[in-house]
Structure 1
Amino acid sequence: MPPLIDPRRGDVEDDASSTKVWSLASLAGWVLVEISLPKLLLSWLLLVGLPCLLLGVAPLAATAWMSTVSRTALEAFSGVAPFVALAAALIVAGVGGRPAFRLAERSFWSLNALAVQPSFVLCREAMRHFVGRRLSLWFRRDGARVGQVTAVAAAVLMSCLAGAAAWLAWPHSRWIGSWGDLASPLTLLGASFANSVVLFGAYVAGGSLAWGAADAAMGQPRTLESHDPEAGGKVWRVAHLSDLHAVGERFGFRIESGRAGPQGNARLAATFEALARADAAEPLDLVLVTGDMTDAGRSSEWAEFLEALETLDPALRARMLFLPGNHDVNVVDRANPARLDLPFSPGKRLRELRALGLLADLQAERVVVAGPKATFDATLAEWLEPHAQALATFVRTGRGKRGRDVSTLWDEAFPMVRLPDTPDGLGVILLNSNADTHFSFTNALGMLPAEQERRTTAVIRAHPEASWLVALHHHLVEYPRPTRSLSERIGTALINGSWFLRQLKPAARRVVVMHGHRHVDWTGRCGDLRIISAPSPVMGRPHFWIQRFGAADGRLTLLKPQRVDLADAPRAATAPVATAGEFEA
């Protein structure tokens, strides 16, 4: 008689947060029931309410200060004391004005990243999903036209809604303040929030039209039908791995697939075995791992991943480069999508610094940190050395003074750059595209900070003859194909991917973008910019690709790749539904 229960095959608890077993609506319902409402309220106040208040009160504080200064200036000729008061006011403005402006600016862009850009993307992708489902023949025949039309339609809709919100809030706004307003804090609070709505409404009303026009005018994503011909000369062989999702338990299942995918790390071991065989047959120039090395960024998962890496030859490991994925830093609780981290809790910072420390161990001598002026003065090891003790202390304790010492390390560490060996060689730029989220349900969001983009373009300009692989975890655009559900089109792509794509456009001939995240194969282009998506070799059909690149006439050529299948890869324990890779690949 077979056992009544086989714990090695898991049970329904292993499907708790699976997007492949439960629908998005089911998970959302669970979140509404399970989420901590006091935590949600406090997080909303800190992430949305406070920036809105600061932004709305800025014009009131500025006009109140100007009124005081002007009145003092008028009285300055009646004695020495007012003149001294005016000088003191100017000194205070010089010292405190710049931090105040930066605070208002940060509040504006924080709200933009948290609500405005995601809303526009949601509207645009919902329209594309509807068109793809209802008019699938037209979508397949003319996906570029669909992209242009839906970008403009989403922009017009967003502009109208934002304009209406600003118009409704205008009667409650107030733009001239005085210090006497502090005596009525509730009135000041209402006026400040109304000011924020008006400012953002006006910004979105005009900005969304500009975004839609830019999205429609740019090269729409198209599947690449053929590769460049072989032309002789140097050919770089780059194995592209992504979404390895190491789990920390021998019989553990992954967050997304649950029991619909394979358990344990047998496929990870098979992936590295296949990688070693491919390198032995013909040496690889580089192995690029574009994120999600672990399933939830836990120490046990990193330990399993590092143990698997130890099976590779040291010479091959020395050619590997890594960057973080959302599962490495953004998953608050792998078993509970309703789990919420408060913005000031150490959990998010701990996962980031844990990942940073391990990335330093893996590639510290092979990459440099691109500073604001792209000077490339320090390797990652040299850059981290002054902060090593602070980082170790925070990872060990998660609190105290050392937390402040390392608060900006994560953001300042990217991009990491592998410089080309020769002026016309191949370099690699490693980006962190993970959005700053504190909620398991939104862990997949991607957002590229403007500072990383500025440093990336500075790196490319500093090496005008070199070719570049720009590597990140999230995809810049959604692929030109109908999707099974709306959840596959929203919440996963880079929120500002269209903007980043436009920034890369001037150097598109010398650049190829490589990413993971979606677990599926796709090679395409947007205008002249080529984009390569890597499958997950541990979920779906187990395989990966060795991409081949050449250089001709100042252009990075994309040659026919080599597919590597995993021999005797373990199958799924059970398969209640198809994985994303099996559905789309």
Structure 2
Amino acid sequence: MRPIVDPRQGDVEDDASSTKRRTLISLAGSLLAEISLPKLIAAWAILIVLPALLLGAGPLLASIWISSVSSKAAEIYTGLLAPILLAILIAIGWFGGKPLWRLIEANFWSLNALAVQPAYALSREALRQLAERFLPADVDQRSRDFARAASAAVAGLLICGVSVWIIALAWPNTRWTGSLADLSSPSNLVHIALHNSVVIVAAYLAVAGLVWGLADTVMPQPRDLPRYPPTPSTGRIWRVAHLSDIHVVGERFGFRIEGGRSGPRGNERLKQTLAKLDAEHKERPLDIILITGDITDAGRSPEWAEFIDALSPYPHLAALTVILPGNHDLNVVDRANPARLDLPTSPKRRLREIRALSTMASVQGKRVHVVDDATGKLGATLEEFLEAHAEKIAEFSDRGTVRLSWDLAGLWPEAFPMVLPPEKEDGIGVILLDSTAETHFSFTNALGLVTEEQTRAIEKVVAQFPNARWILALHHHMVEYPKAAKAMSERIGTALVNGTWFVRRMQRLSGKAIVMHGHRHIDWIGMCGGLVIVSAPSPVMDVTNDRDTYFYIHRLGIGTDGHLALLEPKRIDLPADNDSPVAAPMPN
């Protein structure tokens, strides 16, 4: 008996968060209708209102303290004040310096992600879209690069101009010095503090817009890789299977958040991928299987369990596999409701981090190392690193309390980067980065960030192995691809908010390292600033079961110039399942 509605094919509920089957306007409408207002108000208070008040009130309170309090206190404690303050600063630096720096850095880039990056990226890509319509189809690469660079410069100037206009509007209501009398009128103090905050943030936006535009203008523009070098006649060739965005679901007939019924159901396409890898490995051994994030669709325990279960029949492949986290593994608060948010005090994100770390330890725990912060050299294996916290991890996973979450706050940032060292001093290693920017809101889960701490660690590890070559692996893309687009929605990606900065830092590794990432589900191989960049297509996203997908096995070798060279890859096609009924048609 055939059911009227086949439950294996899903229904409209499976499309609740799908960007492939619903427009952004529709998703935004659902978000506004379903969002928890008490949580939203609390989150705004913690993340926006309180910092804004503190920022704006800072100059007033500082002037009050300097003019009225410090002189009197100094008279009483003339001999004690300086050593007491010094002891306090030493204590803060000793016990809380690194967590405090991480908090400052995360909040600094969060401000950019909230205010600068969206406005700048939208302006830049709109200008590029307009410019490309007027460029002849056969225009040379130099002219195309000039148009892209000019668009970045103009976008920076626009952000600066709008910010200066906002400063002019808010300035009459600001005041930067105060007296003790101001403390008697909290409402007036709040009014002044908010206007001060607007001016401070707008001033930062004016400077940041110019800096971002200038940085993008003078940086070499990304280009498609012009050609693959010839295969060296001598020397080692490494075969690296690059997968990304496999989005494992926890149900046999489950659909993915972004694709809904416009994507494959269940995990059969992943199993097909592993079977292809097994056949390739038997024909000619692979050296590395790299999965650059979004291993799961929402970071849930059943999804990680399904991933381990799919890999378990292939222990010889598991022994070559290294994985890193993506935004879907950490930042999806609720896979069925994009309006769902957690407060910054919630332990739920820490729980998703623990799930990811535990799975990474089971896959690669004996082979990858964390970086010792004191020496900058490779330290314990991931397995040894986590074993030191095993009891607290187990208790937190069982109870999930806020206190236990705080106790494990340093575990995630200290685990990255993870390093798969080269087998020989002139071999190839893999540096696995965490590029997920912390968020507590499913609808804004996709932005990326590589911290200064991880970047310094990369440089120290590379210096430790002067003759080795490296794969730098992360989830997010560093630059927007130089591809013409039909619509604006195709242009705006969710790249690293500090991508330009990160490219500049990594340029010094040109010739020694190749960058591999995922996130966009797009097949692209190119260069930027001398760095070769490889984007992995997703073997499971954006198509229904009746469509083919593919992935690549890349070949890396040492070129005649001594540089690490990306040779022509082998494309592995995953044929459609023509026996599977096609999902419901796309809505008009």
Q: Same fold (TM over 0.5)?
A: yes
Query: For the Cα contact (< 8 Å) 1:55–1:104, is it kept in 2?
Result: no
Work out which of the residue numbers 375, 378, 388 in structure 1 matches 2:377: 375
Structure 2 counterpart of 1:25? 25
CA shift digits 1:257-299 (9 cap, x unpaired): 1111221111111000001001111001100001111111111
CA contact (8 A) 1:512 1:530 kept: yes
Name the structure 1 match of 2:420. Answer: 418
Return 53-62 or 128-137, whichever deviates more: 128-137
Q: How far apart, CA to CA, are the structure 2 residues paired with 1:164 and 1:240?
A: 48
- Map 1:472-483; keep pairs closer than 5 Å: 472-483=474-485
Q: Post-superposition shift, 1:340?
A: 1.5
Match for residue 513 of structure 1? 515
For the Cα contact (< 8 Å) 1:261–1:573, is it kept in 2? no
Alignment match of 2:282 (pick from 273, 280, 290): 280
Paired letter, 2:377 = T
Q: What letter corresponds to residue 425 of structure 1 in structure 2?
A: G
Q: Secondary structure at the match of 1:377?
A: strand
TM-score by length of 1: 0.91
2:440, 2:262 → 1: CA distance? 27
Greater CA drift, 162-171 or 434-443: 162-171
> Contact 2:120 / 2:159 at 8 angstroms: preserved in 1?
yes
Equivalent AA in structure 1 for residue 386 of structure 2: L
Name the counterpart of 2:42.
Answer: 42
Aligned equivalents of 2:414, 2:516: Cα separation in 1: 22
Q: TM-score, normalised by structure 2?
A: 0.90
Using the alignment, how far apart are the partners of 1:181 and 1:557 within structure 2? 65
Q: Do the aligned partners of 1:291 and 1:322 also contact (CA within 8 Å) in 2? A: yes
- After superposition, the C-alpha distances for 1:447-505 in whole angstroms (9 at most, x for unaligned) are 22222222223322333322111111111112111234433333522222122111111
Contact 1:549 1:559 in 2 (8 A): yes
Q: Which residue of 2 aligns with 1:175?
A: 176
**1:165 CA displacement:** 1.9
Q: Counterpart of 1:544 in structure 2: which amino acid?
A: F
Unaligned runs of 5+ in 2: none
Q: What is the RMSD of the two structures over their aligned residues, measured on CA atoms?
A: 2.7
Match of 2:582 among 573, 577, 581: 573
Q: 5 Å matches for 1:41-440?
A: 41-68=41-68, 71-72=71-72, 76=75, 81=76, 83=78, 86=81, 90=85, 94=89, 108-132=108-132, 137=137, 142-231=143-232, 232-312=234-314, 314-372=315-373, 373-440=375-442
Q: What runs of 5+ residues in structure 1 fail to find an aligned partner?
A: 579-585
Deviations along 1:294-331, one digit per CA (max 9) or x if unpaired, are 1111111111111000021x232111100011111111
Name the CA shift for 1:340/1:106 in 2 (closer, same or farther; >3 Å). Answer: closer
Conserved 8 A contact 1:370-1:416? yes
Contact 2:345–2:402 (CA under 8 A) maintained in structure 1? no
- After TM superposition, give the deviation of residue 530 of structure 1 in Å: 0.7
Identify if the C-alpha distance between structure 1 residues 136 and 536 changes in structure 2 by more than 3 Å, giving closer, same or farther: farther
Would you say the 8 A contact 1:52–1:107 is kept in 2? no
Q: 1:106 to 1:338 in 2, by over 3 A?
A: closer
**What is residue 556 of structure 2 aligned with on the other side?**
549
Residues in 1 aligned to 2:469 and 2:91: alpha-carbon distance in whole angstroms: 44
Which residue identity lines up with residue 440 of structure 1 in the other structure? S
Does residue 571 of structure 2 align to residue 563 of structure 1? yes
| C-alpha deviation, 1:423, in angstroms | 2.5
Change in CA separation of 1:132 and 1:140 when aligned onto 2, cut-off 3 Å: farther
Please say which of residues 83-92 and 287-296 is displaced more in the overlay: 83-92
Distance 1:104 1:289 in 2: 30
Amino acid at match of 2:156: A
- Paired with 2:491 and 2:398, the residues of 1 have a C-alpha distance of 38
Aligned counterparts, 1:444-483, within 5 A: 444-483=446-485
> Does the 8 A contact of 1:162 with 1:202 survive in 2?
yes
| Aligned-pair CA distance for 1:535 | 0.9
Deviates most, 563-572 or 220-229: 563-572
TM-aligned CA distance change 1:43 to 1:245, over 3 Å: same
